[in-house]
């Protein structure tokens, strides 16, 4: 397509004719729209890219007031006076103007977003006009707008999640009845005092106790009383992790580190950064990995699988086990240095003196559910337990509860599914009315 210009033969037109002739290959090849205007605002030449974007031919534009044709309105639709137009200002004061976020109008009346630069042209020191280079930025603006909307949605969801998280944490504290640890016995009070003593520190804690004795409750109590309470408590069940995946689970892996590693994966230590990592059943960790675990405990450093970069984390570790780690260490199945790096905090604290509080708390909680139409009132008495208790270890809330005054709360049949305390504690219950040994399975 030919580039046309005004055929007037004055000095200004001659200068623009020279510019057009000398830059003809550039004007044709340029992807940006380029046109010239003289000191009167009349178009002197238009390149093919400008023709395509504006929908006007060069013949229709050359010699006419370009501002009134393509730049007559602001983006909001209001009139754009030519004496405030940056394009014309360039050849009036001699300063280059670069403008974003304005609109040009096509021949069919449709507008599109542009950014442009208006550069003044001088001939022997005299301002004779300007050359304007512009590009269509509509797609970029649409992408920016979508990105801005996405950021706003992310911020909205983040704020909502923060509020929900704060509410749920508060609800847990309210419903948790001191972290779910119930009782006033000396053993309970000693456990709580140990929690209060160790929680403010960053010391590694080892909680030892049989399965079902509440080790995770103690771990959560320590976390909730620590300075890390507003950060996550991440739980890892070491007994459930395949041997080949321990390192990846703890420290994460880089994409391509092994078959099936299709993307980078963050490990539990990074996930718990700033918070607490609870390693349940720590005795199940393979010995080769224990050295790397010890390094994280001592130095706070590790590398992802398949990655040479050393990462640092600030994690407080609480471990729990139902095994005798000291005996394992003597046999070489557990590293001695890792064992002594931990602090022991026994958790076998369910005692007979707490059985009543535990049972009453469970019964009141069960009867308070929406499906229950009756209230426990004062029905939790020692005589009500004469129907019998089973004798397996640890507290569990899984039984049918009846509150009728004409029947015992538990029959021997329904009681078989409940776990409250072991046989060894049954005979020492303080009330003579509940010394009867039930016929449940022995521990």
Q: Does residue 390 register a pLDDT over 80?
A: no
Q: What is residue 226's DSSP assignment? A: S
**Using CA atoms, how far apart are residues 50 and 250, in angstroms rounded to an integer?**
59
pLDDT confidence of residue 146: 92
Mean pLDDT, rounded, of the chain: 76
pLDDT confidence of residue 10: 58
Q: Does residue 133 register a pLDDT over 90?
A: yes
- Backbone phi, then psi, for 157, in 5-degree steps? -65, -35
Q: Does residue 105 register a pLDDT over 90?
A: yes
Provide the token pair at 279.
């390693």
Give the three-state DSSP class for 154.
helix
* H helix intervals, 176-273: 186-198, 215-224, 246-251, 268-271
Averaged over 93-99, what is the pLDDT? 91
pLDDT confidence of residue 30: 85
The whole-model pTM stands at 0.44
User: Kind of pairing, strands 233-237 and 276-280?
Assistant: parallel
**Using CA atoms, how far apart are residues 98 and 389, in angstroms rounded to an integer?**
86
Q: Does residue 396 register a pLDDT over 70?
A: no
pLDDT confidence of residue 104: 93
Share of the chain above pLDDT 70, in %: 71
* Range in 53-62, 276-285, 377-386 the model is least confident about: 377-386
Averaged over 406-420, what is the pLDDT? 35
Tokens 């004007």 — which residue?
27
Stronger pLDDT, 28 or 151, i.e. the higher one: 151
* Range in 10-14, 100-104, 147-151, 390-394 the model is least confident about: 390-394
pLDDT confidence of residue 179: 62
Q: Does residue 248 register a pLDDT over 60?
A: yes
CB atoms within 10 A of CB 391: 21
Taking alpha carbons only, the member of 333, 327, 336, 382 closest to residue 359 is: 382
- Backbone phi, then psi, for 124, in 5-degree steps? 55, 40
pLDDT in tens, 288-344: 888 888 888 888 888 898 888 889 999 999 999 999 888 898 898 899 888 888 754
**Using CA atoms, how far apart are residues 38 and 16, in angstroms rounded to an integer?**
8
**Using CA atoms, how far apart are residues 350 and 339, in angstroms rounded to an integer?**
25
Averaged over 388-395, what is the pLDDT? 36
* H helix intervals, 200-262: 215-224, 246-251
* Range in 126-135, 193-202, 312-321, 396-405 the model is least confident about: 396-405
pLDDT confidence of residue 63: 87
Provide the token pair at 174.
């309210």
* H helix intervals, 109-258: 138-175, 186-198, 215-224, 246-251
pLDDT confidence of residue 356: 57
Q: Does residue 279 register a pLDDT over 90?
A: yes
Averaged over 105-117, what is the pLDDT? 92
């Amino acid at each position: 397509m030919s580039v046309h210009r005004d055929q007037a033969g004055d000095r200004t037109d001659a200068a623009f004719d020279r510019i057009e002739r000398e830059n003809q290959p550039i004007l044709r090849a340029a992807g940006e729209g380029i046109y010239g205007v003289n000191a009167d605002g009349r178009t002197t030449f238009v390149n093919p890219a400008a023709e395509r974007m504006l929908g006007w031919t060069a013949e229709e534009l050359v010699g006419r007031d370009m501002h009134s044709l393509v730049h007559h309105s602001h983006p909001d639709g209001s009139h754009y006076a030519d004496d405030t137009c940056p394009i014309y200002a360039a050849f009036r004061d001699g300063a280059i103007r670069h403008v974003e976020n304005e609109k040009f109008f096509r021949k069919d009346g449709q507008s599109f977003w542009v950014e442009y630069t208006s550069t003044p042209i001088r001939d022997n020191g005299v301002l004779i006009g300007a050359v304007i280079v512009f590009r269509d930025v509509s797609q970029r603006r649409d992408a920016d707008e979508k990105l801005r909307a996405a950021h706003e949605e992310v911020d909205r969801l983040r704020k909502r999640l923060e509020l929900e998280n704060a509410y749920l944490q508060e609800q847990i504290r309210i419903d948790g009845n001191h972290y779910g640890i119930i009782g006033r016995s000396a053993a309970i009070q000693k456990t709580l005092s140990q929690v209060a003593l160790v929680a403010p520190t960053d010391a590694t804690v080892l909680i030892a106790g049989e399965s079902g004795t509440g080790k995770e409750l103690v771990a959560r109590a320590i976390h909730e009383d620590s300075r890390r309470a507003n950060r996550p408590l991440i739980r890892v069940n070491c007994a459930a992790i395949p041997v080949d995946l321990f390192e990846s689970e703890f420290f994460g892996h880089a994409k391509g580190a092994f078959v099936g590693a299709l993307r980078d994966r963050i490990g539990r230590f990074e996930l718990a950064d700033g918070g607490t990592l609870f390693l349940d059943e720590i005795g199940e960790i393979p010995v080769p990995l224990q050295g790397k675990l010890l390094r994280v405990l001592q130095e706070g450093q590790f590398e992802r699988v398949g990655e040479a970069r050393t990462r640092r984390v600030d994690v407080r570790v609480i471990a729990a086990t139902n095994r005798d780690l000291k005996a394992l260490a003597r046999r070489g199945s557990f590293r001695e240095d890792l064992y002594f790096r931990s602090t022991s905090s026994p958790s076998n604290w369910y005692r007979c003196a707490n059985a009543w509080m535990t049972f009453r708390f469970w019964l009141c909680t069960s009867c308070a559910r929406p499906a229950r139409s009756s209230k426990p009132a004062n029905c939790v008495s020692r005589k009500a337990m004469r129907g019998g208790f089973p004798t397996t270890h640890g507290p569990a809330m899984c039984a049918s509860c009846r509150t009728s005054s004409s029947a015992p709360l538990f029959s021997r049949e329904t009681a078989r599914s409940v776990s409250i305390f072991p046989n060894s504690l049954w005979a020492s219950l303080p009330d003579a009315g509940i010394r009867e040994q039930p016929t449940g399975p022995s521990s």
